[in-house]
Chains A and B, each alone.
Chain A
Amino acid sequence: MTIFLLNIGFGLVTASVLSLLSVGLSLQFGVTNFVNFAYGSYLGVGMMLAYTFSATLHFPFWAAAALGTIFTGVVSMVIAEGVLEPFARRRKSLFYMLIVTFGLSLVLDNLLQIFYGVDFFQYPVAQSSPVTIGPFSFTNAQLEIIAIAVVAMVGVHLLLSRTRLGKAMRAMSDNMDLARSSGIDTKNVTRWTWFISGCLAGLGGIVLALNIVSFQTNSGETLLFVIFAAVILGGIGQTYGAMLGALVIGMVTEISTSFISSAYKQDIAFIVLVLMLLLRPQGLIPAKGKA
């Protein structure tokens, strides 16, 4: 029972990491209406940039993490402006967009490996001994991860519900043509969406690296389909659904380790994805016209 409760705690940490990532993917999908298969590489960009800022340039870690987050957002925005949006305008077919983002993931992954190699890295942060809170046990880093995720989720909620940008994003997600004819500057909103999505990917990558302690450039890559699982579970393109999906997937994968080897964690996520696609492909919170 204690192990079970411990795993619920770890589930909370994994869910926090996943929530940042799946919300970022979901926001972008809602606005642009295509899946970005290069998203996994953005995680790598974030975690490696934060490493460069903290370990090589000796910034304090929080500053390095903030810079890594923002720079990943910039990278995401530049890629969208330079490659993806021109493609979306030139080739309307969804097929082509998916292949282009898929090709982009290969390019980005290998560029990262050219710059950083295949070594394992570690952030220069002190490893604290676990803190026991009730039945749970967390390291300081894990508590920070949960705090960061909560703050980010509240931030996304405020963005979507209170700001002009967030309302425009929701409008575009519901109906692109209507949004455009209502006078929303769709190009600008798309640009900002890519930036926010990239920031969340970068931040997610950094907290993922913090959680697994030692990481490689492609550590985020295998997580990509777990993120997809969370996004599809919540209803593709639904931001609050993505949060819910992340919580469920995070909990289920970690709790499963009480019963089976943790090597099969991802297989559990895959089973959830498969069941979801077979039984309720529109997701827990279905979006109209998206499934």
Chain B
Amino acid sequence: MTLILGYVATLLVTFFTYNIFVIGLNIQFGYAGILNFTVITFMAFGAYFYAVFVMPHADNSSQVFYILGLHWPWPLAMLAGIVASGALGYLVGLIALKRLRSDYLAIVTLATGTLVYGLFGNNNKLFDGWSGLFNVNQPFQSVATNHPNEFSWIFVVFSGVIMLVVWLFANRLYASPLGRSMRAIREDQDVVDSFGKNSFKVRMLAMVIGSVIVGIGGVLTIQYIGALSPAGWTTGETFVVWAALLVGGRANNLGAIVGSLLVAVIFNEATRYIPQVPSHPNLIPNLRNVIIGGLVILSIWFRPQGVVPEKKASFLEVPLVDKYAQGFPGEEPGGTLSPAASEA
């Protein structure tokens, strides 16, 4: 029973954190049409910076090296992680958002991902290289001492509350004037520009807000697991988030929940129990990635709007009565010439 309860807790935390990732990507791609092909790098940024702010100074005798090591209280460190992720989003946006073409941004995100991955992996003075950070201080450890599952369940509630806040915020944003501008830019940037909106600023806000939210998910991930190494944030992981968003339905936070449940929890968990092939230890993870990539492609082919499609905007509008639809030009149905018609 203890084992099952612990497992359920882990599943729930996975579900909540992926939800947060998908909502973050949704704000970037679903709302504003920003192609972020390295979502997971923002997660890693949040997680790593949380870790180095919360952990004590690196003990060089243990051959584990990392920067900072400030030993801040965890809420402050959490904030630092989130800020770091948002700052990365700002930098990437600064480079690429000025241009109209969405492929440039996609290229820059992809390049940033490759670069950060190589930099963090090869440089073991930054975040302990390929072995990654472990024994990261977890919150609530002082209160959760009675039972091994106690921490897990406290964390389920904690991450659930944060997810709920993020979800409500994302929904508010969707309906807000800012959210409307974002969606308008997604549909046609030229129109938005001609209405005098600063589309660069709006897209930048979407980029940063999305990065911040993905960063929150990253901090939660490392708080729960207590460790992270580059093997945990490969390109394949970015696809899990993309697949969840596309399967669930973009620009739609209910779709984000459905997608992360289907892809990140059910599909990812189910494939974990396929027995390993001893001669090919990577076969199952590889196949999983093939299927995730295929899922992305197929969902665009068959149902690009996702399981839960975006609701069409409904406007309160006065029905237009076309007074000039009937009759000949210059002649009103009533018979008298209106001033507008006589001008024409």
In the complex, chain B residues whose CB is within 8 Å of the CB of A107: 289-290, 293-294, 297
Chain B: CB-nearest residue to A226: B111
In the complex, chain A residues whose CB is within 8 Å of the CB of B103: 34-35, 94, 98
* Chain B CB within 8 A of A277 CB: yes
In-complex Cβ contact of A277 among B29, B108, B289 (8 A): B108
Kindly state the separation between the CA atoms of A289 and B237 in the bound complex, as whole angstroms.
Answer: 35
* Chain B CB within 8 A of A228 CB: yes
On whether the beta carbons of B95 and A278 are closer than 8 Å, the reply is yes
User: Which residues of A in the span 53-87 have a Cβ within 8 Å of any Cβ on B?
Assistant: 83, 87
On whether the beta carbons of A98 and B102 are closer than 8 Å, the reply is yes
Those 7 A-B pairs whose CB atoms lie nearest each other, nearest first: A106-B293, A225-B111, A103-B296, A107-B293, A110-B289, A110-B286, A35-B103
| Residues of B participating in the A interface, judged by any CB pair closer than 8 Å | 29, 33, 35, 37, 95-96, 98-99, 101-104, 106-108, 110-112, 114-115, 118-119, 122, 235-236, 239, 242, 246, 280, 282-283, 286-287, 289-290, 292-294, 296-297, 300-301, 304
Kindly state the separation between the CA atoms of A71 and B239 in the bound complex, as whole angstroms.
Answer: 28
| Residue among B35, B103, B239 with the highest chain A CB neighbour number at 10 A | B103
In the complex, chain A residues whose CB is within 8 Å of the CB of B111: 225, 228-229, 270, 273
On whether the beta carbons of B102 and A95 are closer than 8 Å, the reply is yes
Chain A: CB-nearest residue to B122: A263
| Least CB distance, B245 to chain A, in whole angstroms | 10
| Least CB distance, A257 to chain B, in whole angstroms | 15
On whether the beta carbons of B236 and A225 are closer than 8 Å, the reply is no
On whether the beta carbons of B114 and A103 are closer than 8 Å, the reply is no
Kindly state the separation between the CA atoms of A159 and B15 in the bound complex, as whole angstroms.
Answer: 54
Q: How many residues of A contact B (CB 8 A)?
A: 42
In-complex Cβ contact of A224 among B95, B110, B282, B301 (8 A): B110
* Chain B CB within 8 A of A267 CB: yes
Chain B: CB-nearest residue to A290: B101
Known: A222-B118, A270-B111. A110 touches B290 (CB 8 A): yes
- Describe B's contact surface by its main secondary structure: helix
| Least CB distance, B333 to chain A, in whole angstroms | 41
On whether the beta carbons of A266 and B101 are closer than 8 Å, the reply is no
On whether the beta carbons of B104 and A102 are closer than 8 Å, the reply is no
In the complex, chain B residues whose CB is within 8 Å of the CB of A266: 114-115, 118
In-complex Cβ contact of A35 among B107, B282, B286 (8 A): B107
| Residue among A104, A106, A225 with the highest chain B CB neighbour number at 10 A | A106
Kindly state the separation between the CA atoms of A107 and B280 in the bound complex, as whole angstroms.
Answer: 18
On whether the beta carbons of B106 and A83 are closer than 8 Å, the reply is no
On whether the beta carbons of A100 and B297 are closer than 8 Å, the reply is yes
